[in-house]
Structure formats: structure tokens, C-alpha cells
């Protein structure tokens, strides 16, 4: 079974980014190989745009497909 990149991560630290990141909140991850090499992660933050943050601010999570679909549907309705 091929391992896929995490599509979601939970914020565990938000020092200097309190307006952009909420602790314990689930964020959608945007794939960015260059950022990963620099120990950063690209997520869609509170602004609704994707930005880079230190990777240690997040813990990657694997969600069941049904949960991913529900989250994406909710985001589409909201956005």
C-alpha cells in the first residue's frame, strides 16, 4: 500500500501566528515539496489562503475517506 502525503494536520503551536492559526484546530495541508525540504508546511489558514508555517506547529493526521469528503463538502459550502 502506497503511503500518501497527509492532507490534514492539527495545529499544536501558534507562537507569533495567533491571528492566523488556532490551537487544536484541523487544517487542510497543501502539498509543497520545496517547503517540506525547508521544514515548513503549507496550510490553508484562517484567512482562507494557503501560507507556510513551521512544520513543528502541526501534527499530521490521516482521516477516514468519509470524514475527508464531509470536511471538503463543508468547506465548499462555506467558501
CATH number at residue 14: 2.30.30
- Domain extent, residue 23, equals 8-78
Report if residue 22 sits inside a domain.
yes
Report if residue 51 sits inside a domain.
yes
Report if residue 41 sits inside a domain.
yes
Report if residue 1 sits inside a domain.
no
Helix or strand holding residue 60 (H, E)? strand 58-61
CA 37: distance to chain centroid? Answer: 17
Report if residue 2 sits inside a domain.
no
Q: Is the pTM of this model over 0.75?
A: yes
Task: Note the pLDDT of residue 73.
Answer: 86
Report if residue 13 sits inside a domain.
yes
Stretches in the chain below the pLDDT threshold 70: 1-6, 78-79
Provide the domain count of the chain.
1
Report if residue 3 sits inside a domain.
no
Report if residue 45 sits inside a domain.
yes
Amino acid at each position: 500500500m502506497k503511503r500518501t502525503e497527509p492532507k490534514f494536520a492539527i495545529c499544536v503551536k501558534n507562537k507569533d501566528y495567533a491571528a492566523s492559526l488556532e490551537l487544536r484546530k484541523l487544517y487542510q495541508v497543501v502539498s509543497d515539496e520545496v517547503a517540506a525540504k525547508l521544514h515548513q508546511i503549507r496550510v490553508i489558514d484562517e484567512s482562507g489562503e494557503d501560507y507556510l508555517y513551521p512544520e513543528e506547529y502541526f501534527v499530521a493526521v490521516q482521516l477516514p475517506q468519509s470524514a475527508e469528503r464531509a470536511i471538503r463538502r463543508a468547506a465548499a459550502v462555506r467558501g
